[in-house]
Copies of this chain bind each other. A is one copy, B any other.
């Protein structure tokens, strides 16, 4: 690696002391205007680039935000990562990324990697199976700023950006009931996640509010992937549902595939609704009714909260709720 110019190189060229150069570059008031100009010119000429290791070593701060997600390649998470990256960019931060692959072990390593890289703060969505939060507690003990989003850790006292899963589920189920569906099934996710429990609660509450009974046989649990939708549909069909409310769009996609294979007409014989408003939801046939969750707003909120923490704004921790919006399409 050919070494790049340092402030000392600039100083030598200009017969100045490197501290003067340092001041000039950082617009310190105590520096002659003409000196500053020559310094800036020389810096440009020598392609000077401040050394992050040196500034980091002195300040013990970095301009890097760490993101930890379960799976980078999922539509929802990749969108959020994209939004976070854009927002971070706007505010002068770079982004470091890790994925837990939905395992607590990897998640622990992810956290360790972030801390070892001395990131300015961490934005995280926990993995499905995380039940011990010691690694996140350690982040807080080191007073490294931390913001959870989507899949939050309720036990941890820090900022959170949460979706309105309950409200979203209520909207979907009410919509299905309004459309005349009566045997509404729920292809749920793993109950270890609060968002899954909230959707379930919204589902049962709305059924009961409308005088419909909750049939346990119409509730199945799985994961967030298409195969879980396929499997869920198979388990539900013997109980003759007339609508499927799926925990997310990927699951809805799998369920839709299975139902089509069985020759069902959607939405005439069975309706399907998802959650997340993945990009494909509008391109499948029939297009999928789902709940949109304002990903841009979510990503920005996460970054903004984190930066407030980084900047040391003294304030109580906050939980931001992102609004859900029902998107009605052809599948219901």
Question: A61 with B280: in contact, given A49-B116, A52-B116, A260-B285 (CB under 8 Å)?
Answer: no
Q: Does A51 contact B (CB under 8 A)?
A: yes
> A270-295: which residues lie under 8 A (CB-CB) from chain B?
279-280, 283-285
Q: Does A311 contact B (CB under 8 A)?
A: no
When chains A and B are docked, how far (Å) is the Cα of A228 from the Cα of B7? Answer: 50
Q: Which residues of B lie under 8 Å from residue A109 when comparing CB positions?
A: 89
Copies of the protein in its oligomer: 2
With an 8 Å Cβ cutoff, the count of chain A residues facing the other chain is: 56
When chains A and B are docked, how far (Å) is the Cα of A4 from the Cα of B144? Answer: 11
Check if A98 sits within 8 Å of B95, measured CB to CB. Answer: yes
Q: Which residues of B lie under 8 Å from residue A96 when comparing CB positions?
A: 64, 94-97
Q: Which residues of B lie under 8 Å from residue A52 when comparing CB positions?
A: 53, 56, 116-118
Check if B4 sits within 8 Å of A117, measured CB to CB. Answer: no
Select from chain B the residue with minimum beta-carbon distance to A49. Answer: B116
Question: A82 with B73: in contact, given A4-B142, A52-B118, A257-B283 (CB under 8 Å)?
Answer: yes
Check if B73 sits within 8 Å of A116, measured CB to CB. Answer: no
Q: Does A162 contact B (CB under 8 A)?
A: no
